[in-house]
Amino acid sequence: MKRFEDLPENVRALILAKLGVELAAHNSPNVYHLAKIHQTDVMGVWREVCRKARQPVCTIPPAVTHAKQ
């Protein structure tokens, strides 16, 4: 699995934008809430975001999981 930080900048931006779209579409404040809605774990949500962005699955950046509410 590739590290998120090793991906090209445009790919990282695309994946994060897709995550933002998913969060907004489900009115979720964070990835933990989104995982609860989808009855999965955070990695399951991340895999789905990468798939929807048509990118390989990579590690989750710390900023995504940092602000658990």
The answer to the question of residue 69 being in a domain is no
Say if 57 falls within a structural domain. Answer: yes
Burial class of residue 36 in the structure, from the number of CB atoms within 10 Å of its CB (0-12 exposed, 13-18 middle, 19+ buried) = middle
What's the total number of domains in the chain? Answer: 1
Q: Is residue 44 part of a domain?
A: yes
Give a yes or no: residue 68 inside a domain: no
| pLDDT for the residue 68 | 56
pTM: 0.89
The reply to whether 54 falls in a domain is yes
> Residue 9 belongs to what domain range?
4-63
- Does 9 reside within a domain? yes
Tell me which residues of the chain have a pLDDT lower than 70: 67-69
Joined tokens for residue 55:
């990118």
Inside any domain, residue 23: yes
Question: Is 55 a member of any domain?
Answer: yes
Report pLDDT for 50. Answer: 96
Q: Which residues, 6 or more positions from 52, have their beta carbon under 8 angstroms from its beta carbon?
A: 18, 22
Task: Report the 10 Å Cβ neighbour count for 55.
Answer: 16
